[in-house]
């Protein structure tokens, strides 16, 4: 199931309390930074949900 980044809650990596924690935690490299925003790469995701559980802004969810 694809992961969705709630752009209203996620204010970009520069404002993230975890300084891009989701990117650091993802073992599959399914989250990347592009122009201070989080980009999700569906093909790489293994649905482990670590990003969802650990996002300090609760900005990551599933469809």
Partner 1 sequence: MAVVKREGNEKRSLEHKNQKCLGCGICTDICPTKALRLGPILPIARGILKSDFISIDQEKCCLCGLCSSSCPFDALEFCINDENTKNMNLYPHWNHYATIEEKECIYCGKCAISCPRDAIHLQRNLPARSDLVFGETEVDLNKCVYCGMCEEMCPADAITIEKNEISSDKPYVGTSTKIDESKCIYCGICKRICPEDAIKIVCTTCMNRDNAKPHPVDGDIILDEEQCINCGWCQEICPVNAANVKKPFKGNISFEENFKCKGDSCHACEDVCPCNAISIVDNHSFINPKFCVLCGACARACPQKGIVIERDDMELTNVRSKSWDKRLNSLKQSK
> Where on the chain is the footprint of partner 1 (CB under 8 A)?
18, 21, 24-25, 27-28, 46-50, 52-54, 56
3-state helix/strand/coil string of the chain: CCEEECCCCCCCHHHCCCCCHHHHHCCCCCEEEECCEEEECHHHCCCCCHHHHHCCCCCEEEC
Minimum CB distance to partner 1, residue 40 (Å): 15
Question: Cβ of residue 37: shortest distance to partner 1, in angstroms?
Answer: 20
Q: How many residues does the chain have?
A: 63
Question: For residues 6 and 24, which CB has a smaller minimum distance to partner 1 in the complex?
Answer: 24
**Least gap, CB of 29 to partner 1 (angstroms):** 11
């Amino acid at each position: 199931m694809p992961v969705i980044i709630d752009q209203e809650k996620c204010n970009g990596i520069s404002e993230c309390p975890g300084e891009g924690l989701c990117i650091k935690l993802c073992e599959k490299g399914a989250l990347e930074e592009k122009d201070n925003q989080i980009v999700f790469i569906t093909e790489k995701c293994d649905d482990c949900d670590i990003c969802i559980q650990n996002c300090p802004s609760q900005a990551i969810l599933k469809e």
